[in-house]
Structure 1
Amino acid sequence: MLTVLALLLPVYLLVAIGWAVVRTRWVAGGEMGSLGRLVLRVFIPATLFYALARAPLHETLRLDYLAAYAAASVAIWGLTLALSLGLGNSRADAGLEAMGASVSNSAYFGLPVVTMVFGADTAFRVFALHLLVENLVTLPLAIGLMETAGGRVSFGRLAATTLRNPLLIASVAGLGYAATGLPLPETLARTFEMLNPVAAPVALLVIGAAVAELSPGALGWAAVRLVPLKLVVFPALVGAAMLAFSVDPVLARAGILNAAVPMMSSFALFGLNYGRPQLAATALILTTAVSFFTLTGLVAFLEI
């Protein structure tokens, strides 16, 4: 257990530092937000491209992994949606809850955690696969339902936003370069290597800052319900799917770990956009806090 804590404690210490500097107004939340955009648009795309471009394509583009993670993501989305509708919630509210349960914070939280546990090479390779599933399957499914439920059909805008995603662009570009079999120029490779250590720790600081900016509301059952669905049920479904598709054990455990991190930080923005800001903010805060215990238990259980 001490070994597990040694692995995960630095992750949460960085999150706590990000939270503290914003809460004490040592750093403005807007400044941390700008830093987060820099990480999301420059640091992570660059290191993602580098990790994919220098790896053999057959080692990275794992169709068994994609199928397993996509199946589990759609399953938890459908399960949460059905549960919420069964409790009498509207389609828009149920769709928001389903999004929260099915889309992990892969960039800011999953990537640093998987890097800490499995190393950068494995982390970036599975991260690219998570991005493909989230941006091409889960998010369009979730947003499409909420848009149609609210009478705001904007699939063209959704497609345009997806195609402009710098992480998705970096993934496709990296896989495309890997397909050529050409080595990266030495100068370019060294530049990417300088960026590599920066992305993960800064991303965790940004997560802490984002949580510090949120205002939780009354502890509603919807927010409480999302905690076990996101942190326990989703990883369990990913584990079952990985086993069913006979995915490599190391990659499978990395996928389970990514599924067990809190929902994406932009979930709070979706909550604001669809009229449930307190639900989204409270659920995000709760899952971030509780995930320290669930992730610690999961890493110990998986014997990583």
Structure 2
Amino acid sequence: MLSILAITAPIFILIAIGFVSSRAALVSRDQVAGMGRFVITLALPALVIRALLERPLHEVIHWNYLIGYGLGSLLIFGLGYAFARLVRKDNLSGSALAGLGMSVSNSGFVGYPIVVLVVGGPAAVALALGMMIENALLIPLALTLAELGQQNGGNVGTALLGTLRNLVRHPVLIAIVLALLMATLDVRPPTFVMRAIDMLAQASAPVALFVIGASLNGLKPGGMALDVGQLLIGKLILHPLLVWLCFSLLPISDPALRTAGVLMAAAPMMSIYPILGARYGLEQRCAAGLVAATVMSFLSISAFVWLMA
């Protein structure tokens, strides 16, 4: 418990610093928006490139893990999207962001530090495989649907064309394609370039958490109970359970890797979730869901650690 608290406490401290800074008018909303653009345009793409280039692809490929984790995550994405769209009557963009929040974990800054304490070395493999699923499948799927929801009027073909034009310019997706291409060809940037990439990647977590805290200033939680409740149940309970079920159907030879995958799925959603939501006017809903999920994940991850022991 204390080990998990030691990992999650700095997250809340950075969120609190962002909130207080905004509350005290040390930063304006325009400045906060600029920091958010820095994360999505530079820091997060650098993080993706670093994660996908740290190890050769052949060292981290475990097909049953990839299929099981990918299938479990895709199932919870579909359930989240369908519930938001059909039950809560949310729009296309909001439903896509709901599915994203329930299926993509904060694996780098919450999941990995906790999982490495539980299983050791396999945590790094689980991190790399999870990043491949999230960055190559789930995030592009969610952004495609969300961008499609932004296209007003016209026929489906026109909307899809507009969506594709926006997607091919999205910094995160450009980084994914570039990193996967370099990893497949076993090409690495020069050392000084990788150092610059590493420095940008290290900035993604603290700046994103600061932006989340600043976005909470002035947050009016009224009417968000169903949104946040869906994210909490879907991300912290259903996502790890579905991954666990898929791993049972597609056995993982290494029990430690299986445990790592379930615990990664039990982590809260990624820290840049509200920044992705800001493009669609959903930053406050996403920020509220992220903070609630991060708080409650202390209990949910502890429960799954006990169950997987």
TM-score by length of 2: 0.75
Counterpart residue number, 2:170: 165
Question: Bigger shift: 232-241 or 217-226?
Answer: 217-226
SS of aligned partner of 1:104: helix
Contact 1:101 1:263 in 2 (8 A): no
Q: 2:139 aligned with 1:135, yes or no? A: yes
State whether residues 216 and 285 of structure 1, in contact with CA within 8 Å, keep that contact through their aligned partners in structure 2. no
Is the alpha carbon distance of 1:255 and 1:3 closer, same or farther for their aligned partners in structure 2, counting shifts above 3 Å? closer
Aligned match of 1:267 in 261, 274, 277?
A: 277
The answer as to 2:226 corresponding to 1:212 is no
**Is 1:117 matched up with 2:114?**
yes
Q: CA deviation at 1:12?
A: 1.7
> Following the alignment from structure 1 to structure 2, what is the Cα–Cα distance between the partners of residues 105 and 30?
29
Structure 1: stretches of 5+ with no match in the other structure: none
Per-residue CA deviations over 1:148-173 (Å, capped at 9, x if unaligned) read: 99877411121222222222222222
The CA distance in 1 between the partners of 2:24 and 2:105, in whole Å, is: 22
Alignment CA distance shift 1:59-1:103 (3 Å) = farther
Counterparts of residues 235-250 of structure 1 (less than 5 Å): 235-246=240-251, 248-249=257-258
2:19 and 2:213 in contact (8 A); partners too: yes
Amino acid of the structure 2 residue aligned with 1:53:
L
Query: Is the alpha carbon distance of 1:78 and 1:124 closer, same or farther for their aligned partners in structure 2, counting shifts above 3 Å?
Result: closer
1:10 shift after superposition: 1.0
- In the alignment, the residues of structure 2 paired with residue 136 and residue 2 of structure 1 have an alpha-carbon distance, to the nearest angstrom, of 36
User: Does the 8 Å contact 2:112/2:264 carry over to 1?
Assistant: no
Kept in 2: contact 1:77–1:98 (CA 8 A): no
Specify the alignment match of 1:191 in structure 2: 196
Q: Percent identity?
A: 25
Q: Greater CA deviation, 106-115 or 235-244?
A: 106-115
- Unaligned 5+ residue runs, structure 2? 117-122
| Matched pairs, number | 292
Aligned to 1:101: 98
Amino acid in structure 2 at the alignment position of 1:129: I
Cα RMSD for the two superposed structures = 3.7
Residues of 2 paired with 1:85 and 1:103: CA distance? Answer: 13
Task: Answer whether contact 1:18 1:208 (CA < 8 A) is retained.
Answer: yes
- Pair 63,140 (structure 1): closer, same or farther in 2 beyond 3 Å: farther
**1: CA distance, partners of 2:129 / 2:15:** 24
Q: Report which stretch shifted further, 163-172 or 255-264.
A: 255-264
Partner of 2:101, secondary structure, is coil
Partners of 2:219 and 2:61 in 1: how far apart? Answer: 37
Q: Are the equivalent residues in 2 in contact too, given 1:45–1:170 (CA < 8 A)?
A: yes
SS in 2 for 1:303: helix
The one-letter code matched in structure 2 to 1:267 is G
Query: What is the match of residue 24 of structure 1?
Result: 24
Is contact 2:79–2:99 with CA below 8 Å preserved after alignment?
no
Question: What corresponds to 2:119 in structure 1?
Answer: none
Which secondary structure state, in structure 1, belongs to the residue aligned with residue 273 of structure 2? coil
